[in-house]
Amino acid sequence: MNFEAVIGLEIHVETKTKTKMFSSAPNVSLKEPNTAVTYLDMAFPGTLPTVNKEAVKNAIKVSHALHMEIDRELHFDRKNYFYSDLPKGYQITQQRRPIGSHGYLDLRTSRGLRRIGIERLHMEEDTCKQLHLSDYTLLDYNRAGVPLVEIVSYPELRTGEEARLYVEAIRNIVVYSGVSDGKMEEGSLRCDVNISLRPYGQEDFGTKVEIKNLNSLKNIEEAIEYEKKRQASLLLLGQEIAQETRRYDESRGETVLMRVKTDAVDYKYYPEANIPPIRLSEDFVKKAIEETPELYDAKLDRYVKMGIGEKEARIILLDPLFASYFEGALIKEATPKEVASFLIVEINSYLNKKNLTIGQLPLKPEAFGHIVAYGPKHGLTHQQTAKILEECLNSGISPEEAQAKLKIVALSSDEGEVKALVEEILRENPESVEAYRNGKDRALGFLVGQAMKKSHGKVNPALVSKLLQEGMK
Amino acid sequence: MDILDLSIREMRQALEEGRTTPKELLEKALERAKKDDCNAFESILEKEAYEALEGLGKNSGPLYGIPYLTKDNFSVKGIETVASSNILKGYRPLYDATVTRKLKEAGAILIGQTTMDELAMGGTGMSGHLGYTYNPYDPSHKRMVGGSSSGSAAAMAEAVVPFATGSDTGDSVRRPASLAGLVGVKPTWGRISRYGLFPFAPSLDHVGYFTRYVEDAALLLGVLAGHDPHDMTSSHRPIEDYAAYLDGNIKGKTFVRILDIEESLSDKRLLEALDRLSEELIKRGAVIKKERFGKDLLESLYATYIVISCAEATSNDANLDGIKFGPYYEGKTYDEAMRKARTAGFGELIKRRFVIGSFALMKENQDVLFLRAQRNRAKVVARLNELLALGDALLIPAASGVAPEFEAGGDKLSDEYLIADNHLVLGNFGGLPSISLPLAFENGLPLGVSLTLAPFKEGEMFRLASVIEDITGLRGLSVLNRKEGNL
């Protein structure tokens, strides 16, 4: 029997704001534990939540990017449960009316273009970070109250690849909209997978298993593919799938049982009376959308239209800072393709060598653009320009100074001049010409070498080679 | 008459004319506080009060040098505040409630915290961790002062201070005010910031207060009202000059009496006093209308209130787990430590309310209990609005009679209990401004009457109330300053 996987994803994204979702404590991830905390975060009696406008804007930006309907009235609810990481004994969330609903994402998968429906996007607050030690647990309230958006897909994903592409697309949206740093490895983007199997053609869903702790795109894909196989083999043996929560063990490449789900917890949701319904003006929503920076897909399109290969464009877009550096370097005199090429190869290798990030590069993007443009303008080869770039990076000098320092001379590309030289060489080396004509390609290299020698390296070797070949036809 | 028995305006005048000093006021207030034998106090903050006195400086706020008391559920920075519950033992807030801050800025001096029903849940003054709070009008200590703002009511009846704060979720200021011969005010929901008030049920919770003069009540609202960025439900409406409404002119004003509430009463003296009050109001140019609320709706008030308030309370008090503040109990797991803290920390009544609230919120019950109660609340409010459209204020006895005895069990399903002793919750359901004030005396015990108006009609409320105060002659009432009244 063949099975089809039914996969739904819940993604939590920590969003960037100055202060927390409902309190005035700073929203920072890297700080001494329990230093970014105010009264509400520790649930002191009498404290009240106030909704963070920036967090609402963030939610609008992501909702819009996911083609969602945006609720013009905000409603919040309480989700009630006792847990050590939940200071108030309830979490403020949006159960009844999520700010975003009914959206979708288009994915280019190996099965073709797939449109994945998204059920909802709602705002809520994060819990404390817990550090479980041998016989006690430490709580860090810095994370308590950090704004989150939760994005819930419809169960319309079918493969690990689709899930990976879906999460990647969402990550690109939250990162490029400036809403989050979207770092899965640091937990600012967290993904839970719900997966069940059913025979092809069956309408009803099978028993679903939840997979948690997926901290990379690769793990999402692998965990799903493993889980599909695991569930299929159980079903083929006539065994039931247990409703359980599993985690992915990266080293073993397997999902491992965390806990069997008994009856679902009743969260006793009910409206949060301390936050009145908040009407969002059209203007507020419009502004939030308008101030959203250009997103990943739009950038990709634009880069490709500039003449950059899609592969190269995606490399540049791996990091928004990299992309913004790239865009800063696009001065009129430099071709985008050249800028991309120098950025991906030369700049990247420099960063790797020095163990720097793009933000630490000692060269402003416009200056980089000028160096890229400098080469062609002064008749230098790519290689020569690369040397100048390296020198500029190392010594902080101008390209003119670097060229002088490295004694790099422009190669002549004057066809008349080069042609005269080539004719001279052909005349002086009849044996080599003969050899070339007899199929000995190596002779061409010798002839180019002779030309370079004679001109003291001042001609463009590519042009010499081309003219030599023409002359020997 | 002692200086402490005067109105705040008169005290301020005496201060300005040099007939008294803030220090003298404080000394006298502390002296009276120490004489309390009704279990009104969680704390008497003598040292802190003298410090505050020294810090007064040239403060010329509207309450300069006026001593006051606060219910034990308002956050006071650095001072143990426990809402009369063992679960909060040792908790010293790190911040002032907005009300605490505003009173400080106005120059008022906090001299103590008052007992209450545990976590403001209850209307008897019997459930606080320090035991019963007694009604000063009954020296035999057989009668309750009501709750949950029990200690504030008792201390005010003892004329310890000219005003005290309270909170009102069902009737927790206005009913004790009625049983203790005081003015009890609960303005429109959102008129006074709740920031720093320990919550019971936020959709019903109001900051309220006690005074002995209607004019003091008007003055205080001017100090306490206003938008607070810490409380999103607080109103942006401008604060009015409430005292300016006290012109005694009620010509053409319409009071609406509710017959089916009155019919549930058995206290003849109370009804008689209400009739006499009506006659006097008419003499002064007012109109009295008699309407029916609808008995089914009235009988549903208590159940509706219990379901909503308990449901909200179970969530609001989920922060009390002994981990972050309050006594900590060892446990191998969070669950164990939390259970131990809550088992030891809460009284029986509270636990029962949590069970009810939790039950009402359960998925399988929510529609028939919590949501049904919410729908019924909306129905009640719709009916209230219809009645308020017929006149300026609802005129209703504030309680079914005088302060009951602790031992009097009473039939909890009788109309008298369900309606006459619970109708004040109408003001909480609708978030409406509501006041209770002394009406008359019966065997030396006070009876009260209440007014309830449309949202933000506080100025009008004080105008009407001051005329009633003038008619009854029961201004500045306390056990030290007994009057029989005119009705």
Residue of chain B with shortest Cα separation from A270: B361
* pLDDT at residue B185 greater than cutoff 90: yes
Amino acid letter, B76: V
Q: What is the mean pLDDT of chain B?
A: 96
Cβ-based burial of A319 (10 A; exposed 0-12, middle 13-18, buried ≥19)? middle
- Choose one of A233, A253, A279: the last residue of a domain: A279
Q: Which of A22, A37, A47 to mutate: most B Cβ within 10 Å?
A: A47
Task: Indicate the pTM of the whole model.
Answer: 0.91
What number of other Cβ atoms are within 10 A of residue A297's Cβ?
15
Give the largest Cα separation in chain A, rounded. 99
Nearest CA to A158 among A205, A219, A120, A122?
Answer: A205
pLDDT digits (tens, 9 = 90+) for B85-104: 999 999 999 999 999 999 99
Residue A306 CA to residue A308 CA, distance in Å, equals 6
Does one domain contain both A185 and A231?
yes
CA B473 to CA B194: how far, in whole Å?
Answer: 33
Q: Which two tokens stand for residue B460?
A: 């009008």
Are the Cβ atoms of B195 and A46 closer than 8 angstroms?
yes
Q: Does the pLDDT value for residue A103 go beyond 70? A: yes
DSSP B434-466: EEEEEEEEETTEEEEEEEE-STT-HHHHHHHHH
**pLDDT of A419 strictly over 70:** yes
Q: What strands, in cross-sheet order, belong to the sheet with B67-71?
A: B41-44, B109-114, B67-71, B163-167, B207-211, B183-186, B434-442, B445-452, B393-397, B254-258, B287-291
Partners of A43 on chain B (C-beta within 8 Å) are 319, 324
Please tell me whether residues A324 and A450 are part of one structural domain: no
| Option in B83, B321, B362 nearest A266 (CB) | B362
B22 CA to chain A: closest CA distance, Å?
30
A306 and A424 within one domain: no
Question: Per the residue annotation, which of B43, B75, B85, B148 is the catalytic one?
Answer: B148
First-to-last alpha carbon distance for chain B, in angstroms, is 23
Mutate one of B197, B237, B307, B316 to test the A interface: name it (highest A CB count within 10 A): B316
Given this model, what pLDDT does residue A51 score? Answer: 98
Q: Nearest C-alpha of chain B: how many angstroms from A83?
A: 7
Task: Please give, rounded to a whole number of angstroms, the shortest distance from the CA of B90 to a CA of chain A.
Answer: 13
Instruction: Kindly report the number of other CB atoms within 10 A of residue B248's CB atom.
Output: 10
* Share in percent of chain B as helix, strand, coil (round to 5): 40, 15, 45
A422, A400: one domain: no
CB A74 within 8 A of CB A51: yes
Domain assignment present for A421: yes
Q: CA geometry: angle at B294 spanning B289 and B298, to 5°?
A: 110
Token code pair at residue A403 = 């060229």
- CB spacing of A45 vs B93 below 8 angstroms: yes
Domain-located, residue A286: no
Number of domains comprising chain B: 1
Give B358's contacts in chain A (Cβ within 8 Å): 268
In a domain, A40, yes or no: yes
Residue A263: strand, helix, or coil: coil
Q: Which amino acid is at B16?
A: E
pLDDT of residue A417: 77
Give the pLDDT confidence of B34-47 residue by residue, as tens digits.
999 999 999 999 99
* Domain of residue B91, CATH code: 3.90.1300.10
Checking ipTM against 0.90, whether it exceeds it is yes
- Residues of B with Cβ-Cβ distance to A276 under 8 angstroms: 232-233
- Residue B9's H or E segment, with its range, is helix B8-16
Question: What is the spatial distance between Cα B305 and Cα A59, in angstroms, rounded to a whole number?
Answer: 36
Cis peptide before B148 (omega within 30 of 0): yes
Is B414 one of the catalytic residues?
no
Question: Can you give the CATH number for the domain in which A453 is found?
Answer: 1.10.10.410
Tens digits of residue pLDDT in B360-374: 999 999 999 999 999
Q: Which of A441-455, B184-198, B364-378 has the lowest mean pLDDT?
A: A441-455
DSSP-assigned letter for residue A294: P
| Residue with the larger pLDDT of the pair B228 and A29 | B228
CB A320 within 8 A of CB A175: yes
- CB–CB contact A273 B97 (8 Å): no
Nearest CA in chain B to A134: B332
Report the chain A residue with the minimal C-alpha distance to residue B81: A45
Region A207-227 average pLDDT: 94
Q: How confident is the model at residue A461 (pLDDT cuts 50, 70, 90)?
A: confident
- Whether residue A195 is found in the same domain as residue A248: yes
Residue range A432-437: mean pLDDT, rounded:
87
Beta-carbon pairs below 8 A across chains A and B: 101
DSSP codes of every residue in A211-234: EEEE-SHHHHHHHHHHHHHHHHHH
Instruction: Indicate the residue among A406, A426, A453 that finishes a domain.
Output: A406
Angle between helices B8-16 and B22-35 (to 10 degrees): 140
Question: Domain tally for chain A?
Answer: 3
Q: Between B88, B323, B361, which is nearest A268 by CB?
A: B361
Cβ distance of B97 and A46 shorter than 8 Å? yes
Among the listed residues A55, A278, A35, A289, the one whose alpha carbon sits nearest the alpha carbon of residue A140: A35
3-state SS, A299-314, equals HHHHHHHCCCCHHHHH
Option in A42, A45, A276 nearest B75 (CB): A45
Query: Which of A80, A85, A141, A268 best tests the B interface by mutation, with the highest count of B CBs <10 A?
Result: A268
Confidence (pLDDT) at A8: 97
> Do A42 and A191 belong to one domain?
yes
Strands annotated E in A126-237: 129-132, 137-140, 147-153, 189-199, 209-214
Q: Residue B409's pLDDT band (boundaries 50, 70, 90)?
A: low
Nearest residue of A to residue B321, measured between CA atoms: A89
User: What pLDDT is stored for residue B411 in this prediction?
Assistant: 65
Residue B1 pLDDT grade (very low, low, confident, very high; cuts 50, 70, 90): confident
Residue A38: both structure tokens together: 């105010």
Q: Which residues of A touch B334 (CB under 8 A)?
A: 82-84, 137
Contact list in A for residue B324 (CB cut-off 8 A) is 42-44, 87
Catalytic residue among B71, B102, B186, B457: B71
In this complex, the residue of B97, B318, B334 whose CB is nearest that of residue A90 is B318
What pairs with residue A140 in β-bridges? A129
Q: A310-324, A368-382, B205-219: which range is least confident on average?
A: A368-382
Same domain, A236 and A258: yes
Domain co-membership, A298 together with A240? no
Amino acid making up residue B281: L
Residue A465 scores a pLDDT above 90: no
pLDDT (tens digit per residue) in A111-145: 999 999 999 999 999 999 999 898 888 999 999 99
Asked if residue A263 has pLDDT above 70, the reply is no
CA distance A108 to chain B (A): 41
Mean pLDDT of chain A: 93
At B59 the pLDDT is: 66
Indicate left, alpha or beta for B66 from its phi (over 0: left) and psi (-120 to 50: alpha): beta
Amino acid at position B356, single letter:
I
B339-353: average pLDDT: 96
Q: How many angstroms from the chain centroid is the CA of residue A204?
A: 35
**Structural domain range at position B447:** 1-487
The residue among A23, A41, A138, A274 with the most chain B CBs within 10 A of its CB, best to mutate, is: A274
Would you call A39 and B94 a contact, using CB atoms and an 8 Å cutoff?
yes
Residues of A in contact with B91 (CB under 8 A): 45
Q: Do B338 and A82 touch (CB under 8 A)?
A: yes
Tens of pLDDT, residue by residue over B431-463, are: 999 999 999 999 999 999 999 999 999 999 999
Q: Which chain B residues are within 8 Å of A45, Cβ to Cβ? A: 73, 75, 81, 83, 88, 91, 93, 198-199, 319-320
Query: What pLDDT does residue B418 have?
Result: 80
Q: Clarify whether residues A421 and A339 are in a common domain.
A: no
pLDDT at A470: 85
**Cβ of B83 and A45 within 8 Å?**
yes
For A145-163, give one letter per residue: b (16+ CB within 10 A) or e: bbbbbbbbbbbbbbbbbbb
Nearest by CB to residue A44, choosing from B94, B334, B338, is B94
Matching residue, tokens 């200590």: B141
Chain A residues with beta carbon closer than 8 angstroms to that of B95: 39, 44
* Residue type (1 letter), A303: Y
Note the pLDDT tens digit of each residue in A312-350: 999 999 999 999 999 999 999 999 999 999 999 999 999
Q: Which residue of B has its CA nearest to A87?
A: B319
- A248 and A298 both lie in a single domain: no
Q: How far is CA A308 from the centre of its chain?
A: 18
Which residue of B lies nearest to A84 if distances are taken between CA atoms? B334
Q: What is the largest CA-CA distance in chain B?
A: 72
Task: Look up B71 and say whether it is catalytic.
Answer: yes
Q: Is residue A430 part of a domain?
A: yes
**Segments forming the whole domain that contains residue A344:** 294-406
| Among candidate residues A345, A348, A316, the one with its CA nearest the CA of residue A330 | A316
Same domain, residue pair A98 and A198: yes
Q: Quick one: pLDDT at residue A445? A: 87
Q: Which of B172, B178, B193, B478 is catalytic?
A: B172
Least confident of A366-375, B15-24, B110-119, B404-413: B404-413
- Degrees, nearest 5: CA angle B46-B206-B465: 90
Q: Check if B172 is active-site.
A: yes
CA–CA dist A323, A343 (Å, integer)? 10
B199: DSSP letter:
P
Q: Which residue of A has its CA nearest to B319?
A: A88
Task: Report strand pairing: B254-258 vs B393-397.
Answer: parallel
d(CA A241, CA A218): 25
To the nearest whole Å, the CA of B43 is away from the closest chain A CA by 19
Same structural domain, A68 and A199: yes
pLDDT in tens, A86-100: 999 999 999 999 999
Residue B410 has pLDDT above 80, yes or no: no
Read off the pLDDT of residues B45-61 as tens digits, 9 standing for 90 and up. 999 999 999 999 776 79
| Residue at A308 is within a domain | yes
**Coil vs helix vs strand at B79:** coil
Edge-to-edge strands, sheet with A77-80: A90-93, A77-80, A270-271
CB-based contact B361 A90, cutoff 8 Å? no
Half-sphere exposure of A257 (CA within 13 A, CB side): 9
- Give the closest of A51, A89, A273 to B318, CB-based: A89
Mean pLDDT value across residues A268-294: 97
Chain A nearest CA to B321, separation (Å): 8
High-pLDDT (> 90) share of chain A, %: 76
CB B389 within 8 A of CB B457: no
Instruction: Answer yes or no: is pLDDT of B379 > 80.
Output: yes
CA neighbor of B87 nearest in space, from B313, B328, B349, B356:
B328
In a domain, A129, yes or no: yes
